[in-house]
Amino acid sequence: MIDKSCASVEEAVAAISDGDTVMIGGFGEAGSPIELIHALIDQGARDLVVINNNTGNGRVGLAALIAAGRVRRMICSFPRGTTDTLFPELYRAGKIELELVPQGTLAERIRAGGAGIPAFYTATAAGTTLAEGKETRDFDGRCYVMERGLTADYALVKAEKADRFGNAVYNKAARNFGPIMCMAARTAIIQVGEIVADGAIDPEHVITPGIFVQHVVAVDEPALESELIAQGASYP
């Protein structure tokens, strides 16, 4: 019988290795898989390449992973929080690498990676410094930049509910990068508020089909990044 559920977040992230590429879902605190990230901090893997739209906030979740020195390289579109100086300081000190990617190109590169597309062309960033060093090409008189698909060893994603097959649904704008990161990672791990019974998710409503998911772990009462930050929390 197929059962992708794990007993704990610790078990779910146990096999992540030094040097792995890890996609982490979420946009702001919506969809941020804080418990999985904290389990990854505890687990100890380092030298990670992390793909997320941002670089986290406060000293919890992704920001805590970065603060713990576990991230060698960030691939993101906006490496700044509203008030946060963590990433800029590490970056200026040469302690972390940055690959800056326009947000839509980042999303499409992840989707391409998941869909077996090694490269595609986009008009985004054509004629800008972010296209420097990249191939460009004209199609029908317009200049496009060639961008490569992105894949990952792992994806850490937060969804609302999933079944034992890994079929998942999300909550509003917390959907964001989750579905495409599950597609693009060899091992996609989703934390969900509830693992539901067979048939509880209507096949018409499935957002991430289970084929894209390898592990599901229930986190009944996930922490909220903004609340942790308001409390001055710092992980570990």
Partner 1 sequence: MSRADTSQAATQRPGLSRAQMAWRAAQDILDGAYVNLGIGIPEMVAAFVPEGREVVYHTENGVLGFGPPPEAGAELRELINAGKKPISLKPGASFFHHADSFAMIRGGHIDVCILGAMQVAQNGDLANWSTGAEGAVPAVGGAMDLVAGAKAVRVITDHLTSKGEPKLFERCSFPLTGRGVVERVYTNLAVIDIGEDGFVLRERAPGISVDQLRELTAAPLIVAEDCTTIVVPAL
Q: Does 30 help bind its own copies (rule: CB under 8 A)? A: no
Query: Looking up tokens 């030094």, which residue turns up?
Result: 18
Assess 111 for contact with partner 1 (CB under 8 A).
Answer: yes
Distance CA 13, CA 3 (A): 17
66-125 residues near its own copies, rule: CB under 8 A: 108, 112, 115-123
| Phi, psi of 112, rounded to the nearest 5 degrees | -60, -45
Residue 163 touches which of its own copies, partner 1, none (CB < 5 to 8 A by kind)? partner 1
CB 64 to its own copies: min, Å: 30
Q: Which does 183 bind (CB under 5 to 8 A by kind): its own copies, partner 1, none?
A: partner 1
Cα separation, 88 vs 105, in Å, equals 22
Counting contacts by CB under 8 A, is residue 105 touching partner 1?
A: yes
Say whether residue 198 binds its own copies (CB under 8 A): no
Q: Pick from 19, 44, 69, 104: which binds partner 1 (CB under 8 A)?
A: 104
Matching residue, tokens 């999303």? 107
Min separation Cβ 175 and partner 1, Å: 5
How many CB atoms are closer than 10 A to CB 21? 19
Among partner 1, its own copies, none, residue 121 binds (CB under 5-8 Å by kind): its own copies
Under the binding rule (CB under 8 A), the answer on residue 21 touching partner 1 is no
List the structure tokens of 81: 């929080």
Contacts (CB under 8 A) with its own copies, residues 144-163:
144, 148
Q: What is the dihedral of CA 19, 180, 206, 190, to 10 degrees?
A: 20
110 binds, among its own copies, partner 1, none (CB under 5 to 8 A by kind): partner 1
> For binding to partner 1 (CB under 8 A), which residues are involved?
1-2, 27-31, 53, 77-80, 82, 87-88, 91-92, 98, 100-105, 107-108, 110-111, 113-117, 122-130, 163-165, 167, 170-180, 183, 198-199, 203-204, 206-207, 209-212, 224, 226
Give residues in contact with its own copies (CB under 8 A). 108, 112, 115-123, 139-140, 142, 144, 148, 169-170, 172, 203-205
